[in-house]
Chains A and B, each alone.
Chain A
Amino acid sequence: DVQMTQSPSSLAASVGDTVTVTCRASRSIGTYLSWYQQKPGKAPKLLIYDGSSLQSGVPSRFSGTESGTDFTLTISGLQPEDFATYFCLQSYNTPFTFGHGTFLEIK
């Protein structure tokens, strides 16, 4: 199975800050990596797919990059509604595997 190592597990930041979250795959997954935002009591919401493509309707302050087996989610200019938990997902092969999540909280 492909292991997804996500870091950091938690992060404190202020409105207006730029933050990055990273997922590293245990082996090559091409660009079959997506990022999700989850708020308490809600289902995950797709933000980025194919490593760097912005899902329709998602603000452009969210961006994704890939370099080999390393994938990064960047949120530029944090807004109050961005404080949530973020997950990555590899869908290169089954079993699909998630990162353990990054809890982004207000500093």
Chain B
Amino acid sequence: EVQLVESGGGLVQPGGSLTVSCEASGFNFNEYYMHWVRQTPGKGLEWVSRIAWNGGGIDYAASVKGRFTISRDNAKSSLHLQMTSLNRDDTGLYYCARGGPVAGPLDNWGQGTLVIVSS
């Protein structure tokens, strides 16, 4: 059974930094694209970033480019999202999701980790 478990969310002040992580199990992690998607009351579901199976193929949403960094550790089946210069618009539930081929759907999702940016 595919399992994705996010962690690392919390309360952070505007301008602060936070790293969220996703532990994967039940599949060959190093064969899949992985994505971060966030859900906010204001914008609904918003795709944030993706990374290819080999750590390449990295893309970001314009709203986070230059502030967020996606990475993965295939040896540990883990995905990470380092977030800096956080602002209130970054508040939301952050999901990791498994992708298929380059343009494939997101076929499995974690339960999300909540990030709140507030003073």
Contact = CB atoms under 8 A, between A and B. Distances in A.
Pair from one complex: yes
Interface of A: 1, 32, 34, 36, 42-46, 49-50, 55, 87, 89, 91-98, 100-101
A97 B47 contact: yes
Contacts of A42: 111
B61 interface: yes
B106 A95 contact: no
Nearest to B50: A94
Contacts of A32: 103
B109 interface: yes
A98 B103 contact: no
A43 B105 contact: no
Interface residues of B, number: 22
B110 A43 contact: yes
> Which of B61, B62, B106 has the most C-beta atoms of chain A within 10 angstroms of its own C-beta?
B106
Contacts of B45: 44, 87, 89, 98, 101
Given A95-B59, A95-B61, A89 B44 contact: no
A97 B108 CA distance: 17
A62 to B, nearest CB: 14
A48 B90 CA distance: 29
B44 A49 contact: no
Interface string B95-119: 1000100011111111110000000
A93 B61 CA distance: 12
A38 B110 CA distance: 13
A49 B105 contact: yes
A98 B109 contact: no
Nearest to B64: A95
